[in-house]
């Protein structure tokens, strides 16, 4: 019998029909189970039950009567979250008819370093030339020995602290200044925007000098090491022969380690906070999902959205996913619990719980303040990060053998697998066929130990946070252990417990006492 909408009379007829042909078959409509009917399911009291339900539920009979006349039993739900999305799309479309919809991502003055020669990249691409946007604080001493290079995270700009030209508070405002973590009375701090980004350094939204068009997804794949090599071109331009320290958190913590590996004789100290020496599957997976929701936004247009409506919906969702990984469950339990934004209203499918409104707000703030293509390229650079010796040697060979012919012919040939992924057990197999378990805190791989051997003479502070789910604390333990096994006798490893900080990955932005205090003590 075909499922359809029934009124009360229709239900009785359907029940009788079903009972005569197949007494054990339940009715397809849920109300047939909720409201017992005369003659249904062999229940002699079902008619009385239906009358009693009517008397206890005022208005139910009228609603069902309306349904019998093909009218909806309930009103359509409102979706203010989608209304806001459509309004933003309309606004961006109107703007595109005049000045173009994409925002100006760089706010405030920055200094610009220009490198006018071809710059070969790890994966065979080339930048004919590039620019690095940067900001500075403090005074460089006469021999230029007090310079600290501060590396940024994925979405941060060079604006780590306010300046005269840009008085807006920076992302590390409380950590930089006289007598602070990065003491401007003693050090000259330089913070750059990475290549591939959108805050003044060369990235996908910039113009390709070869054809005067936006790079878009013709921009070459970049790596963390490419970013660092570009930064050291800036330092050469500033006349800095050796850094006092290379300091970074999150992706910046990757860069600070890479700086020591690439330029061991030019780095005096390393601070790596909530970073890693190689990306691991969980963080790769989370960044992959962000890229996927962004690329599935029709407005992304394979990266060629400049001058049109940008993929703001995909960007908003990507940021919401990212925000889940930036904080911790214990913090959100205390901060939000199960509270709803307005408990006097019925539940909604748009943001309803406080935690949902928090994520929604995070996505709204971000979706038009960062170039979508930059998010794709920089997050991919994080995924590719691996300071193991094999990866370093392979990248060096690709750069050395790079030529414009090879680069121009290097179209992506990657295809999706024909065979679905087959699940594996939680063990690996040794050469002799026996199985071994692989705990997270196992000895670092020899390839990574060999890759970090260049840091054996560089004092290094490695900090982790127990509540961090994006860069779990065992990854910082892996870095510290690999450094020690590589021969570094001056490794300081600090791990903040959940009692000390429950802010997860974002602890490096918030915990001035524990993060700032340890960094200040280490720098001396």
Report CA torsion sign: 477, 483, 485, 491.
Answer: negative
Q: Is 265 one of the catalytic residues? A: no
435-438 long-range contacts (CB < 8 A, ≥24 apart) are none
- Which residues on adjacent β-strands are paired with residue 136? 190
Give the Cα separation of 191 and 197 in Å (integer): 14
Alpha-carbon distance of 199 to 193, in angstroms, equals: 6
Q: Respond yes or no: is residue 468 known to be catalytic.
A: yes
CA–CA dist 124, 118 (Å, integer): 12
Give yes or no: 328 in active site.
Answer: no
Beta-carbon count within 10 A of 67 CB: 18
23 DSSP 8-state letter? T
Helix (H/G/I), strand (E/B), else coil: 461:
strand
3-state secondary structure 43-95: CCCHHHHHHHHHHHCCCHHHHHHHHHCCCCCCCCCCCHHHHHHHHHHHHHHHH
- Is residue 253 within 8 A of residue 441, CB to CB? The reply is no
Q: Exactly one of 283, 505, 506, 511 is catalytic; which is it?
A: 505
Tokens of 230: 């570009």
**Catalytic residue of the set 226, 468, 506, 511:** 468
Within 13 Å, how many C-alpha atoms sit on residue 74's CB side?
Answer: 3
Closest CA to 494 of 511, 510, 514: 514
Q: Contact 171/159 with Cβ under 8 angstroms?
A: yes
| Catalytically annotated residues | 250, 468, 505
């Amino acid at each position: 019998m075909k499922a359809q909408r029934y009124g009360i009379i229709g239900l009785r007829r359907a029940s009788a029909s079903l009972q005569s042909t197949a007494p054990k078959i339940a009715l397809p409509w849920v109300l047939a189970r909720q409201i017992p009917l005369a003659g249904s399911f062999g229940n002699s009291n079902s008619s009385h039950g239906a009358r009693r339900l009517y008397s206890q539920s005022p208005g139910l009979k009228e609603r069902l009567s309306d349904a019998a006349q093909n009218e909806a039993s309930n009103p359509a739900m409102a979706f203010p979250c989608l209304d806001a999305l459509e309004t933003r799309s309309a606004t961006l479309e109107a703007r595109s008819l005049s000045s173009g919809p994409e925002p100006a991502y760089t706010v405030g003055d920055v200094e610009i370093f220009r490198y006018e020669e071809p710059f070969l990249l790890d994966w065979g691409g080339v930048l004919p030339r590039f620019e690095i946007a940067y900001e500075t604080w403090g005074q460089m001493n006469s021999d230029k020995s007090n310079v600290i290079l501060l590396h940024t995270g994925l979405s941060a700009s060079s604006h780590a602290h306010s300046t005269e030209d840009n008085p807006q508070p920076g992302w590390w405002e409380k950590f930089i200044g006289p007598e602070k973590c990065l003491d401007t009375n003693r050090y000259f701090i330089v913070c750059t925007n990475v290549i591939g980004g959108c805050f003044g350094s060369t990235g996908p939204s910039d113009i390709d000098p070869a054809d005067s068009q936006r790079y878009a997804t013709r921009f070459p794949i970049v790596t963390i090491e490419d970013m660092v090599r570009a930064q050291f071109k800036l330092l050469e331009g500033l006349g800095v022969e050796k850094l006092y320290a290379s300091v970074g958190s999150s992706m910046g913590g990757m860069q600070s380690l890479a700086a020591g590996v690439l330029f061991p004789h030019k780095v005096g100290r390393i601070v790596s906070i909530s970073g890693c020496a190689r990306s691991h599957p969980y963080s790769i997976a989370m960044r992959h999902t962000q890229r996927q929701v962004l690329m599935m936004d029709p407005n992304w247009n394979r990266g060629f959205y400049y001058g049109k409506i940008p993929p703001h919906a995909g960007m908003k969702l990507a940021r919401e996913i990212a925000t889940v990984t930036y904080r911790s469950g214990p913090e959100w339990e205390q901060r939000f619990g199960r509270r709803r934004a307005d408990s006097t209203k019925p539940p909604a499918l748009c943001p309803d719980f406080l935690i949902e409104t928090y994520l929604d707000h995070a996505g709204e703030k971000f979706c038009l303040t960062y170039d979508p293509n930059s998010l794709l390229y920089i997050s991919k650079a994080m995924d590719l990060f691996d300071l193991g010796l094999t990866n370093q040697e392979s990248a060096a060979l690709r750069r050395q053998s790079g030529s414009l012919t090879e680069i121009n012919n290097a179209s992506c040939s990657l295809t999706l697998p024909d065979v679905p992924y087959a699940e594996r057990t939680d063990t690996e197999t040794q050469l002799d066929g026996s199985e071994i378990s692989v705990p997270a805190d196992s000895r670092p791989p020899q390839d990574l130990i060999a890759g970090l051997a260049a840091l054996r003479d560089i004092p290094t502070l490695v900090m982790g946070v127990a509540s961090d789910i994006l860069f779990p604390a065992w990854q910082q333990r892996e870095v510290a252990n690999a450094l020690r096994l590589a021969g570094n006798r001056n490794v300081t490893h600090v791990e903040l417990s959940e009692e000390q900080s429950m802010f997860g990955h974002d602890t490096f932005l918030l915990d001035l006492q524990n993060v700032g205090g340890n960094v200040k003590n280490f720098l001396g």
